[in-house]
């Protein structure tokens, strides 16, 4: 009996491995068809992903005199909260507005009209809300309506993972009606084939952390109970807006190359074409695949945690 169970388990794992290999092969063939065979311009190849940001624990280190046995740390009150940010980019370095999902009211799951009316939302940000602050099928459907025009002439290709909301019939039908072909990344391989995971989410979160720290340096005042004041929703909108604006187009293009979606970044192609047209001029190029002033903050930082006040 034990031998049969062991053989069945081994066969199941083998079958799963073969299925994943097949799924990866089909995905790579589809990408090759889009990029090489159809010669699709990188501006029509889009990657979307949502990332969760913890909203508390502002600093990972505390300065203290040597020899002190107890260090008093002041943090904002309340439990750790989250909000979701949905990011979309194109192969030629363009950025869709960042979609922020806040936690809404308990009954409706929505932020009230009064709260929304007080918020100043920059052009590179959109605000949504749910009961849990997670991306769901309703938000996905609304994001598609706001992001893609009804009369799109040339086919767009939207590369996404197998998140449940992406698989809903309503989203797929709406994408098809707007001439958007959805291409799914193989399960468990977003770290390899998803540009946002490969080289964009980490710099974005590093920028977000930096924006928060700059804000906190100027706002160390305490509440009546002795806690640090929480940032408001408006503050977080401003953090996300600044962090997203600071992600360079070159960083995005390099991420598509690193994820094996595109063979080379468009800024290099443009410079190669310029060099051919000016072949008598001396060849002087300077390319960088590292975001300016990123330093050691490029790595994924799981300690990025914040908390926001509910003023507005």
Residue 121 domain flag: yes
Residue 126 domain flag: yes
Residue 293 has pLDDT above 60, yes or no: no
Residue 126 has pLDDT above 90, yes or no: yes
Q: What is the pLDDT of residue 266?
A: 80
Beta pairing class for 125-130 and 98-103? parallel
Residue 3 domain flag: no
Residue 106 domain flag: yes
Q: What is the pLDDT of residue 15?
A: 63
Residue 219 domain flag: yes
Tokens (6 digits) for 252: 């995005």
The whole-angstrom distance between residue 140's C-alpha and the CA centroid of its chain comes to 14
Task: Please give the average per-residue pLDDT across 142-164, as a whole number.
Answer: 93
Give residue 267's pLDDT band: very low, low, confident or very high (50, 70, 90).
Answer: confident
Give residue 219's pLDDT band: very low, low, confident or very high (50, 70, 90).
Answer: confident
Q: What is the pLDDT of residue 213?
A: 84
Q: Where are the beta strands (DSSP E) in 9-107?
A: 45-54, 82-90, 98-103
The CATH number linked to 47 is 3.30.420.10
- pTM (predicted TM-score): 0.76
Residue 191 domain flag: yes
pLDDT digits (tens, 9 = 90+) for 48-106: 999 988 664 455 555 455 665 665 555 555 556 678 999 999 999 999 999 999 988 87
Q: Closest by alpha carbon to 288, among 279, 278, 298?
A: 298
Q: CA distances (Å), 92 to each of 30, 79, 144, in order?
A: 19, 40, 20
Query: What is the domain extent for residue 220?
Result: 39-56+80-268
Residue 144 domain flag: yes
Domain count, the chain: 1
- Residues 31, 32, 33, CA angle at the centre, nearest 5°? 90
pLDDT digits (tens, 9 = 90+) for 25-50: 999 999 999 999 999 999 999 999 99
Task: Tell me the percentage of the chain whose pLDDT exceeds 70.
Answer: 68
Residue 255 domain flag: yes
As to burial, measured by CB atoms within 10 angstroms (0-12 exposed, 13-18 middle, 19+ buried), residue 305 is buried
- Mean pLDDT across the chain, nearest whole number? 79
Q: What is the pLDDT of residue 212?
A: 85
Q: What is the pLDDT of residue 16?
A: 62
pLDDT digits (tens, 9 = 90+) for 182-199: 999 999 999 999 999 999
Of 276 and 124, the one with more pLDDT: 124
Task: Please give the average per-residue pLDDT across 139-165, as a whole number.
Answer: 93
């Amino acid at each position: 009996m034990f031998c049969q169970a062991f053989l069945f388990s081994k066969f199941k794992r083998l079958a799963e491995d073969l299925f994943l290999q097949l799924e990866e092969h089909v995905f790579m063939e589809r990408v090759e068809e889009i990029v090489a065979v159809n010669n699709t311009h990188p501006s029509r190849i889009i990657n979307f992903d949502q990332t969760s940001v913890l909203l508390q624990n502002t600093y990972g280190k505390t300065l203290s005199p040597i020899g002190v046995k107890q260090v008093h740390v002041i943090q904002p009150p309340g439990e750790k909260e989250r909000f979701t940010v949905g990011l979309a980019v194109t192969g030629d370095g363009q950025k869709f507005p960042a979609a922020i999902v806040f936690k809404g009211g308990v009954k409706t799951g929505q932020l009230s009209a009064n709260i929304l009316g007080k918020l100043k939302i920059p052009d590179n940000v959109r605000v949504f809300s749910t009961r849990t602050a997670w991306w769901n099928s309703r938000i996905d459907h609304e994001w598609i309506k706001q992001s893609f025009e009804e009369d799109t002439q040339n086919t767009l290709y939207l590369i996404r993972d197998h998140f449940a909301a992406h698989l809903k019939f309503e989203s797929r039908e709406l994408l098809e009606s707007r001439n958007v072909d959805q291409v799914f990344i193989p399960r468990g391989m977003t770290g390899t084939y998803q540009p946002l995971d490969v080289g964009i989410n980490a710099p974005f979160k590093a920028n977000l952390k930096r924006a928060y720290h700059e804000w906190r340096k100027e706002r160390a005042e305490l509440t009546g109970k002795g806690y640090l004041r929480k940032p408001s929703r408006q503050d977080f909108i401003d953090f996300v807006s600044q962090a997203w604006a600071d992600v360079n187009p070159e960083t995005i293009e390099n991420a598509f190359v690193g994820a094996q979606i595109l063979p080379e970044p468009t800024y290099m192609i443009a410079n190669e074409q310029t060099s051919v047209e000016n072949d008598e001029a001396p060849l002087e190029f300077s390319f960088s695949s590292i975001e300016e002033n990123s330093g050691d903050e490029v790595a994924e930082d799981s300690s990025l945690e914040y908390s926001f006040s509910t003023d507005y």
